[in-house]
Structure 1
Amino acid sequence: MAMTGVLRPGHAQVRVLDLEASIKFYRDVLGLVETGRDAQGRVYFKCWDERDHSSYVIREADSAGIDFFGFKVLDKATLDRLEADLRAYGLATTRIPAGEMLETGERVRFQLPSGHLIELYAEKTAVGNGLGTTNPAPWGASREHGIAPIRLDHGLLYGPNIAEVQKIFVDVLGFYLVERVLTEDGQTSAAVWLSCSHKVHDIAFAEYPEPGKLHHCSFLMESWESVLRAGDIMSMNKVAVDIGPTRHGITRGCTIYAWDPSGNRFETFMGGYHPYPDYEPLTWTFDNFGQGLDYPQRKLHETFLTVVT
């Protein structure tokens, strides 16, 4: 499909309780590549196969959670158009100047009815993946350090009013609904999975009474074997694991959920099918949500519904 608007998830900024412990975790256990530190005390990371400067940013704070989630758009003209569309829809936007984040151009920020801050941007310095662009090798040394995911894949955010959130992503930003879980009464959506590409999801939302909550940021792995290897590395480093290794019914992805030292959940994820905008969305009833979450066990893990930051 032609990608002419929102391209992909671009970055997440996450709050951590102990910066040094978190740097060690994300660099040495998760295996992200540190790409910079700024005057605000933020530390920037990328996954080994990402070409832009950074996709995951951490800062020390008194509480864990997410500050904002950002998407890269095609170009500056697209950024201007989407900002105008957001304002026409009735959402206030803020322009954040280029350079406020390292190696990142102007960003357009707005708040969702779920309480989450979302950003759009068109420019970020390309630093490459260390393999070059002519006759490149399939992988380099960074792939062998820690868990070493390929890229930031998606986020799952918890908050209220996700029906309205879905409208904003579909009607304004050009996403489409891939899957949903119905509420117990079958009348509305308890959770939605949305895509701007032909990935099975680029962002997901679940209905939750408290606004602005992070369920997890997800990192893409190359294979089921690499997910299992990630589980070995988690165990070797005494990382607290939430769910998995297992397969989702929803998305068909294979997964492990675990927590960083601050209690922020992250996911090592691979697989999933390849939807297109003309596909009919898949629907899961609430009584089968357990199978949607953990297909082999058909178990709706209590932590999945209640533990957020």
Structure 2
Amino acid sequence: MAMTGVLRPGHVAIRVLDLDEAVKFYSDVMGLVETGRDDMGRVYFKCWDEQDHNSYIIREADQAGVDFVGFKVLDNETLNKLEKDLNEFGIETRRIEAGEMLETGERVRFTLPSGHEFELYADKTKVGNGMGLTNPAPWYTQSEHGIAPVRLDHMLLYGPNIAEVKKIFCDVLGFFLVERVLGEDNETEAALWLSCSHKVHDIAFVEYPEPGKLHHTSFLMESWERVLRAGDIMSMNEVAVDIGPTRHGITRGCTIYAWDPSGNRFETFMGGYHPYPDYETITWTWDNFAQGLDYPQRKLHESFLTVVS
């Protein structure tokens, strides 16, 4: 498919309770690559196979959770058009100047009806993956350090008014609805999986009374074996695991969910199918949501449904 608008998840900014502890965790256990620090106290990371300067930013705060999520768009012309489209849809936007985040261009930020801060940007410095662009090797030494995910894959956010969120993403930003879970009334949409590409999802939302909550950030692994290896590394480092290893019915993804030292949930994820915009939406009814969440055990894990940051 021709990708001409919103391209992909670009970055997520996370709050942690102890910066030094978090840096050690994300560097040594997760195996992310630290790429910089700024005078606001933020530490920047990327996954080893990502080209851009950063995708995961942390800062110390009194409460864990998510500050904002950013998606990359094709170019500045696209950024300007999408801002205009958002304004015409009734969404107030604000510009954040280039350089406010390290190596990142001007950003257009707005608040979703779910209470999350969301932004679009076109420019970020490319630093490469260490292998070059001519006759590269298939992997880099950094890919063997810690869990070493390939890239930041998606986020699941909890908050209210996801029906309004869906309109913004589908009617303005060009996403399409890949899968959904119906509520107990079998009419209301309780959860949404949205894509701007041919990935099974680039972002997801669950209806929840408190605004602006983070359920998890997801990191892509190359294979099921790498997910299992991630589980071994979690156990070696006494990381608190929520669910897995297992497979979802929803998205068909294979997964382990766990928490960083501050209580922010993360996922090591692989698999899923490859939808296109002409695919019909898959619907899961509430009475079968347990199989959608944990296909082998058919179990609704209480922590998965209730613990957010």
Shorter-chain TM-score tier: over 0.9
1:277 paired with 2:277, answer yes
TM norm structure 2: 1.00
Counterpart-to-counterpart distance in 1, 2:302 and 2:158: 15
Q: Secondary structure at the match of 1:257?
A: strand
Aligned residue number for residue 112 of structure 1:
112
Counterpart-to-counterpart distance in 1, 2:186 and 2:164: 17
Q: Secondary structure at the match of 2:266?
A: strand
Structure 1: segments with no counterpart, 5+ residues? none
Q: Secondary structure at the match of 1:80?
A: helix
Tell me how far 1:261 sits from its aligned partner: 0.2
Tell me how far 1:299 sits from its aligned partner: 0.5
Matches within 5 A, 1:78-157: 78-157=78-157
Counterpart-to-counterpart distance in 1, 2:191 and 2:140: 38
Counterpart-to-counterpart distance in 2, 1:17 and 1:236: 22
Q: Read off the aligned partner of 2:107 and give its amino acid letter.
A: R
Counterpart-to-counterpart distance in 2, 1:300 and 1:288: 10
Deviations 1:138-170 (A, max 9, x none): 111110000000000000000000011001000
Q: Secondary structure at the match of 1:261?
A: coil
Instruction: Give me the identity figure in percent.
Output: 81
Counterpart-to-counterpart distance in 1, 2:258 and 2:164: 29
Tell me how far 1:184 sits from its aligned partner: 0.4
1:158 paired with 2:158, answer yes
Aligned residue number for residue 180 of structure 2:
180
Q: Read off the aligned partner of 1:220 and give its amino acid letter.
A: L
Aligned residue number for residue 260 of structure 1:
260
Structure 2: segments with no counterpart, 5+ residues? none
Tell me how far 1:40 sits from its aligned partner: 0.3
1:236 paired with 2:236, answer yes
1:219 paired with 2:219, answer yes
Tell me how far 1:259 sits from its aligned partner: 0.1
Counterpart-to-counterpart distance in 2, 1:82 and 1:24: 38
Q: Secondary structure at the match of 1:273?
A: coil
Q: Read off the aligned partner of 1:111 and give its amino acid letter.
A: T
1:197 paired with 2:197, answer yes
Deviations 1:244-303 (A, max 9, x none): 000000000000000000000000000000000000000000111110010000001001
Q: Secondary structure at the match of 2:59?
A: strand
Matches within 5 A, 1:63-78: 63-78=63-78
Counterpart-to-counterpart distance in 2, 1:28 and 1:5: 35
Counterpart-to-counterpart distance in 1, 2:186 and 2:172: 26
Q: Secondary structure at the match of 1:90?
A: coil
Counterpart-to-counterpart distance in 2, 1:70 and 1:294: 29
Counterpart-to-counterpart distance in 2, 1:152 and 1:53: 13
Aligned residue number for residue 209 of structure 1:
209
Deviations 1:166-207 (A, max 9, x none): 010000000000000000011111000000000000000000
Deviations 1:205-251 (A, max 9, x none): 00000000000000000000000000000000000000000000000
Q: Secondary structure at the match of 1:142?
A: helix
Deviations 1:7-56 (A, max 9, x none): 00000000000000000000000000000000000000000000000000
Q: Read off the aligned partner of 2:173 and give its amino acid letter.
A: L
Q: Read off the aligned partner of 2:91 and give its amino acid letter.
A: L
Q: Read off the aligned partner of 2:231 and give its amino acid letter.
A: G
Aligned residues: 309
Aligned residue number for residue 19 of structure 1:
19
Tell me how far 1:304 sits from its aligned partner: 1.1
